[in-house]
Homo-oligomer: A and B are copies of this chain.
């Protein structure tokens, strides 16, 4: 209730700071009887962990997860599941120089004014590192949703700065460092040199990420306020550096006519998906399609104007190890948030309406 818990019935309460002792979370509400071990969670954490290519932060963190509770003899017991990840590669000295001033585009300024105290080491609580526990929790949700409904989650980067990335197939995503759904080697090479130039310039860039959920039960979502799409927007905008969220046709809807936007229905299913799988805040059973805008990393080497705690003008340069494009590692995080929202709504729906229905055919499904 105080902000650091996600979800109502599959509730994830996280803790930790970038350079503290450890990070982790407590997952409350997981259904009993789900086979679960660290081996189900670690692969998801590995997808988002740092140091996997030269285009992301070089911080070396194994992000090894430990299950502390809620699992007995290999299955969930229905009691809280605690996940613990020890921080191992802290270099707090890297941050000493910005403890007294506010980095432009960072949470330094707001934390200081809100709390009157802040942990400047690696951005403290505001670090993207805190997405690790949520990815771990989502691995459990993904497993349950797959087992119950066959629901799967996929995502890719569709734009890197000015570079658009045409969608070919999700199968290509693991084969390049950008989570790009393309096999176009020339395009990947262009993105690599683009990133190399940025790092050389001490600058950063934004990105657009698309995620979808497939085989979603129909009927998930509450009609008003806790709409499925409203909770998805909440979840996505809550990811570090996200500045925009679209469902289905998103901002294209502005210039569409009703006769174009409204997805027609046939006995075989919906013939389009401008709705993005949600109508009136409730899932249609089609693919849930979401797109998010991620701002460029605020921590850059380029000197920038700012002020210190006393309001005096200062120039700030941020050294240390940063992702020149936080969007690169955002794909598994966005998938995770989407999974947590669907998990919570699946349980909420089951509470009020009993067991949920199977998915509805979607003629216009992404491959």
What sequence of 0s and 1s flags, for each residue 210-231 of chain A, a beta carbon within 8 Å of any chain B beta carbon? 0000000011111111110111
A43 close to chain B: CB less than 8 A: no
Q: Which residue of B lies closest to A297 (CB)?
A: B258
10 A-B pairs in the complex with CB atoms less than 8 angstroms apart: A1-B8, A106-B280, A107-B223, A110-B281, A110-B282, A111-B223, A125-B224, A207-B254, A243-B247, A264-B304
A364 close to chain B: CB less than 8 A: no
Task: Give the distance in Å from the alpha carbon of A252 to the alpha carbon of B159 in the complex.
Answer: 12
Smallest beta-carbon distance A164→chain B, Å: 10
Q: Which residue of B lies closest to A79 (CB)?
A: B125
Residues in A252-287 with C-beta less than 8 Å from chain B: 252-267, 271, 274-276, 278-285
A138 close to chain B: CB less than 8 A: no
Pick the contact of A80: B7, B14, B81, B296 (CB < 8 A).
Answer: B14
Q: Given A107-B280, A113-B357, do A82 and B16 touch, yes or no (CB 8 Å)? A: yes
Q: Which residues of B contact A75 (CB under 8 A)?
A: 117
Are A282 and B15 in contact (CB-based, < 8 A)?
no
Task: Give the distance in Å from the alpha carbon of A125 to the alpha carbon of B280 in the complex.
Answer: 9
Q: Which residues of B contact A250 (CB under 8 A)?
A: 243-244, 293
Task: Give the distance in Å from the alpha carbon of A203 to the alpha carbon of B257 in the complex.
Answer: 7
Are B102 and A265 in contact (CB-based, < 8 A)?
yes
Smallest beta-carbon distance A330→chain B, Å: 12
Interface centre among A3, A256, A261, A348 (most CB of B within 10 A): A3
Pick the contact of A264: B246, B280, B306, B312 (CB < 8 A).
Answer: B306
Closest 8 CB pairs of A and B: A107-B280, A3-B222, A105-B262, A2-B29, A234-B234, A204-B258, A110-B282, A233-B237
Are A113 and B253 in contact (CB-based, < 8 A)?
no
Q: Which residues of B contact A259 (CB under 8 A)?
A: 203-204, 300, 302, 304
Q: Given A159-B254, A280-B126, A305-B265, do A224 and B300 touch, yes or no (CB 8 Å)? A: no
Binds B, one of A20-28, A53-61, A166-174, A182-190: A20-28
Task: Give the distance in Å from the alpha carbon of A137 to the alpha carbon of B279 in the complex.
Answer: 25
A78 close to chain B: CB less than 8 A: yes
Pick the contact of A263: B5, B32, B105, B126 (CB < 8 A).
Answer: B105
Interface centre among A80, A198, A254 (most CB of B within 10 A): A254
Task: Give the distance in Å from the alpha carbon of A176 to the alpha carbon of B57 in the complex.
Answer: 52
Pick the contact of A296: B5, B124, B257, B354 (CB < 8 A).
Answer: B257
Q: Which residues of B contact A231 (CB under 8 A)?
A: 234
